[in-house]
């Protein structure tokens, strides 16, 4: 059992981190609205050009600093009370984003959208109560299931990206960009799990050359360091690429609608991988699969509402312009 002092400190730390994470998202949104559009049709050059301007925006920079700083109490909280205590508390931070988006960014939230957001907030709590087991990854048996899972995951991400290009300039562009970023970020979580398990099983100690074992593990010549190498560079690639996608989605759509999608998918996919790839078990499978179903329903519903809202707003602005003339 974890002692009461550690529980109190762990919960206090995540209560500090959660508003920092979520208010940081709102500040980033303020900065993104006033910055150059992040475009993927111009390749790396177009993305780099946009971010050169974005990082000079003080609001976006404040948001980025808040989000980065929040990782320290977040990680400390996990080390004290565990993921299954920390993450459900952190997931409720969606409420902060929704309220801030409404009050600060003046984003309109319809009652039916709010119900869909509540569904996405409720889903991680069901996962927490499903009683997930501690994970021990068999780095040999997981290979084929992992390849299949990653292939499906990246295929979905690529499909969403292609759809975002096809829907460019329409109401669904931001929605598909966010789904792309959410799936890539979630797959980064899968690589993180592999990396953490490989490091533990390899028995790596903190030394002056630890960074080399991580960055260049493939040259160490043993199986565990191979997966350390794959896990590390997989999470780096997914983290870096997903960042551009969800920042672009924040720029193009309402974060009160888009952010719950990112949060829910990024939580559900690694846990789904834990079941299908890493052989984790649950005390209550009904709660787990009910949560996955609710996340799917909430995400698709918000996507439809987002498109409909943008259509209505466009018509309203067009009518106002006509009346002013």
Q: pLDDT at position 153, please?
A: 94
In percent, the amount of the chain with pLDDT more than 70 equals: 73
**What pLDDT does 1 receive?**
47
In this predicted structure, the answer to whether residue 161 has a pLDDT above a threshold of 60 is: yes
pLDDT of residue 9: 82
Say whether pLDDT at 258 is over 90. Answer: no
The mean-pLDDT minimum among 60-69, 81-90, 127-136 falls in 81-90
**Per-residue confidence band for 309, with pLDDT thresholds at 50, 70 and 90:** low
Check pLDDT > 90 for residue 184. yes
Is residue 310's pLDDT more than 70?
no
Rounded to two decimals, the pTM is: 0.70
pLDDT in tens, 199-220: 878 777 767 777 787 888 777 7
Average of pLDDT values for 273-283? 78
* Domain assignments of the chain as residue spans, ordered by start: 134-282+300-324
Top-confidence residue, 14 or 302: 14
* pLDDT-based confidence at residue 72 (cuts at 50, 70, 90): confident
SS (H, E, C) the chain: CCCHHHHHHHHHHHHHHHHHHHHHHHHHHHHHHCCCCCCCCCHHHHHHHHHHHHCCCHHHHHHHHHHHHHHHHHHHHHHHHCHHHHHHHHHCCHHHHHHHHHHCCCCCCCHHHHHHHHHHHHHHHHHHHCCECCCCCCCCCCHHHHHHHHHHHHHHHHHHHHHHHHCCCCCCHHHHHHHHHHHHHHHHHHHHHHHHHHHHHHCCCCCCCHHHHHHCHHHHCCHHHHHHHHHHHHHHHHHHHHHHHHHHHHHHCCHHHHHHHHHHHHHHHHHHHHHHCCCCCECCHHHHHHHHHHHHHHHHHHHHHHHHHHHHHHHHHHHHHHHHC
Least confident of 16-20, 128-132, 229-233, 283-287: 128-132
More confident residue, 130 or 63: 63
Q: For residues 123-135, give the mean pLDDT.
A: 67
Q: What is the pLDDT of residue 155?
A: 96
Q: Average pLDDT, stretch 242-251?
A: 83
**Is pLDDT of 299 > 70?**
no
Residue 45 confidence (pLDDT): 75
On the question of pLDDT at 223 being above 80, the answer is yes
- pLDDT at residue 259 greater than cutoff 80: no
């Amino acid at each position: 059992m974890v002692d009461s002092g550690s529980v109190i400190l762990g919960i206090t730390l995540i209560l500090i981190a959660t508003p920092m994470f979520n208010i940081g998202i709102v500040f980033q949104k303020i900065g993104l609205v006033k910055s150059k559009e992040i475009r993927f049709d111009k390749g790396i050059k177009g993305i780099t050009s946009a971010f050169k301007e974005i990082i000079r925006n003080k609001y976006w920079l404040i948001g980025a600093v808040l989000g980065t700083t929040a990782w320290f109490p977040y990680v400390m909280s996990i080390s004290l009370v565990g993921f299954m205590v920390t993450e459900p508390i952190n997931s409720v931070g969606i409420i902060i984003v929704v309220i801030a988006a409404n009050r600060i960014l003046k984003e309109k939230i319809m009652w039916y959208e709010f119900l869909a957001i509540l569904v996405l907030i409720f889903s991680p709590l069901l996962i927490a109560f499903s009683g997930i087991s501690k994970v021990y990854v068999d780095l040999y048996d997981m290979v084929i299931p992992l390849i299949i899972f990653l292939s499906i995951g990246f295929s979905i991400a690529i499909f969403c990206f292609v759809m975002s290009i096809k829907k460019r300039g329409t109401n669904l562009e931001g929605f598909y960009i966010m789904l792309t970023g959410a799936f890539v970020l979630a797959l980064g979580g899968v690589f993180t799990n592999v990396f953490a398990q490989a490091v533990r099983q390899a028995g790596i100690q903190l030394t002056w050359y630890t960074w080399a074992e991580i960055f260049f593990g493939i040259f160490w010549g043993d199986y565990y360091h191979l997966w350390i190498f794959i896990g590390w560079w997989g999470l780096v690639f997914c983290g870096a690429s997903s960042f551009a996608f969800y920042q672009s989605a924040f720029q193009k759509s309402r974060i009160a609608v888009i952010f719950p999608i990112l949060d829910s998918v990024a939580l559900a996919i690694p846990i789904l991988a834990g079941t299908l790839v890493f052989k984790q078990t649950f005390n209550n499978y009904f709660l787990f699969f009910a949560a996955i179903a609710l996340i799917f329903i909430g995400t698709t519903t918000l996507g439809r509402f987002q498109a409909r809202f943008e259509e209505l707003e466009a018509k309203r602005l067009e009518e106002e312009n006509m009346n002013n003339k």
